[in-house]
Structure 1
């Protein structure tokens, strides 16, 4: 019976490479004949462990049929050396030996054997086990390749997400145009997430800066697709003009409600730093609480962040609120990963975060401020979501 009859719908096992390692010439040729009669087309023979190891790199077997009792290097030592090499840690090693005591089997498995059959060999059993281990190896290889391809595609998608957000050159340009220094920290989780942020100077009002921070529900491809949907909407949405942050947020929500699948939503803050008025005007769709402080302040002031998340109701109405932001003042925005860190039976929350940053409010280096903050967050507990932290500092 050929291998094709046994493996319909499975990979072509007959093309797999098998190495027979046995010091007995009769046994070697018997195994070679059995395998060739069953349709295997690539079989290599070796006389002992030393001979086999010398042939490994060139032949690259998919399975080894290994005798245990051999001169120069026995099967136990060969197994140990194979498992010590990363290239061969997962290679199936089917031991065939006249040693049939329980302690011999245990010793073989401890050395790295995959399976064990005793001599005299039963041809049908041996061939069945060969096919089973080759099938498993082929499926494992396919799974590994699929995982590697998926990880590469996810890494590419993650890089695309990161490109949605302003980089150092953009932050430098904003500083030149508005006098506002922007420091940003973005650390994606192991999965694709839904955080992103952006900003744009207002050409009609010199020094004014429009900004937003978004956090979509969920993780994975769905959340990532939603960030691209919303980013496209934002590129077509005018900021400034006669509409304040609340009107802008309502317009974004109306468009997003027609695109999001049922049950998905996003929190968002839309704001504008107005240097002439010395304030931050903003509207919140369930975002985290913005924090501001002025030179000399002992603690940050937290804003109200109440508001219906985006994507839940097309006619949602939002409020424009204000926080003071005088020269030298700072605005701190963050994603909810910063306040959902487990602390005992609770989470850090906004108040805990404010307490964490209070000793560092007047750190002159904004990048250093964010570095100390993120170190403190990681020391507090595990962070299992995208972490975004933004610091906007007005020129004193």
Structure 2
């Protein structure tokens, strides 16, 4: 359903009036104005009975009628969601301001007084029909856009490791992995992945592109495609970020960038070796620790300067130790006039560090974050536990 000045004949108008002469005069007037689909109803009760089969685009409604008057019909119409925004053009001999106010309170869209001025009535009918068509087209566009965004979100989520691949890495690398990803209402630029190098060590990275929407999502696909072509032999986190940065500087539009953390869990050294491109601070702790240890996350984001280099760092990760990574949505939750920040998140993490179950730990931390304040960005969180 869509019409304009040349296609208004497709519009459907219902005339509701207890006076037979008025009904037919109005119908003739509409037909002269190019409206071919007209339904006649004798009162409000008759009109409501015809709504489902006729599906009007506009109602011309008299107010003073037997059985069910125009005021009550309008109220009943507005009580149903599917008719809540249907244009209702009242035509009545009641001309007092209080009558108009009562009609609008009942749900009328517009009001013309009798005797009807043909030119005025047709003009108002056309305006309301055109507005309805525009609203209808906007809703169709919104539904189509939302469906496309849902598909894009699903594709973005498939960039992250599936259950089968995670299970294989867990078994081979002697790890337990729990992950959480909650997309925001917009497309975002978050994703993470887990791989193994030629030594069998687990390589993990987490990235967050600037901005939201289609542009940020496309950047995640760009980065994923680049990573697929990279060699993970002898994985060096700093060299890995430097290589990615060089590629992204040539691809990203000016002003776009990504923060990223990449690291490898080295069981022989009992450490997490990593490099940061302006990422959030990784947290680690061993069994019995009173609080998590926060790593250093200084580093230039990817895509800003092709010559940037990235420092290799390490954190202790003995058997039974845990590594917690998270996107910046977890630390940007409003708290009064400030935000939660990494120190505040570390306090929340500290409350649940002793939980033996990784999934339970993540659920508890996420619940605390949601209780702290609104989260308006993609929220990604990853807990990696070294099995003893």
TM-score, normalised relative to structure 1: 0.95
Aligned to 1:316: 308
Aligned to 2:110: 115
> Which of 135, 141, 148 does residue 130 from structure 2 map onto?
135
Aligned partners of 2:10, 2:336: CA distance in 1, in Å?
A: 57
Aligned partners of 2:232, 2:5: CA distance in 1, in Å?
A: 58
1:224 paired with 2:217, answer: yes
Aligned partners of 2:92, 2:208: CA distance in 1, in Å?
A: 61
Greater shift in the superposed pair: 247-256 or 169-178: 169-178
User: Unaligned 5+ residue runs, structure 2?
Assistant: none
Aligned partners of 2:81, 2:238: CA distance in 1, in Å?
A: 58
> Which of 215, 225, 237 does residue 230 from structure 2 map onto?
237
Deviations 1:87-129 (A, max 9, x none): 1111101010111111111111111111111111111111111
1:300 paired with 2:295, answer: no
SS class of match (2:287): coil
SS class of match (1:190): coil
> Which of 40, 63, 69 does residue 68 from structure 1 map onto?
63
1:81 paired with 2:73, answer: no
Aligned to 2:378: 386
Q: Pairwise mapping of residues 89-168 of structure 1 onto structure 2 (< 5 A)?
A: 89-168=84-163
Aligned partners of 2:368, 2:216: CA distance in 1, in Å?
A: 27
Aligned partners of 1:276, 1:20: CA distance in 2, in Å?
A: 83
Deviations 1:175-227 (A, max 9, x none): 1111111100111111100100001122x313x10110001111111111100
Aligned partners of 1:10, 1:314: CA distance in 2, in Å?
A: 56
Deviation at 1:240?
A: 3.3
Deviation at 1:338?
A: 0.8
Deviation at 1:346?
A: 1.6
SS class of match (2:349): helix
Aligned to 1:205: 199
Aligned partners of 1:391, 1:215: CA distance in 2, in Å?
A: 17
1:183 paired with 2:178, answer: yes
Aligned partners of 1:139, 1:346: CA distance in 2, in Å?
A: 42
Cα RMSD, aligned residues only: 1.2
Deviations 1:22-62 (A, max 9, x none): 11111011101111111111111111111111111111110
1:366 paired with 2:358, answer: yes
Using a 3 Å threshold, how does the CA distance of structure 1 residues 30 and 221 change in structure 2: closer, same or farther?
Answer: same
Aligned partners of 2:129, 2:79: CA distance in 1, in Å?
A: 21
1:47 paired with 2:42, answer: yes
Aligned to 1:37: 32
Using a 3 Å threshold, how does the CA distance of structure 1 residues 307 and 11 change in structure 2: closer, same or farther?
Answer: farther
Deviation at 1:11?
A: 6.5
Alpha-carbon contact 1:171-1:181 (below 8 Å) kept: no
Deviations 1:211-247 (A, max 9, x none): 1000111111111110010010111111232x51111
Aligned to 1:3: none
Number of equivalent positions = 386
Deviation at 1:10?
A: 4.8
Aligned partners of 2:5, 2:229: CA distance in 1, in Å?
A: 51
Greater shift in the superposed pair: 232-241 or 281-290: 232-241
Alpha-carbon contact 1:49-1:75 (below 8 Å) kept: yes
Aligned partners of 1:36, 1:299: CA distance in 2, in Å?
A: 79
Q: Pairwise mapping of residues 10-25 of structure 1 onto structure 2 (< 5 A)?
A: 10=5, 12-25=7-20
TM-score, normalised relative to structure 2: 0.97
Aligned partners of 1:11, 1:240: CA distance in 2, in Å?
A: 67
Q: Runs (4+) of structure 1 moved beyond 4 Å?
A: none
Aligned to 1:275: 267
User: Unaligned 5+ residue runs, structure 1?
Assistant: 1-6
Aligned partners of 2:41, 2:341: CA distance in 1, in Å?
A: 66
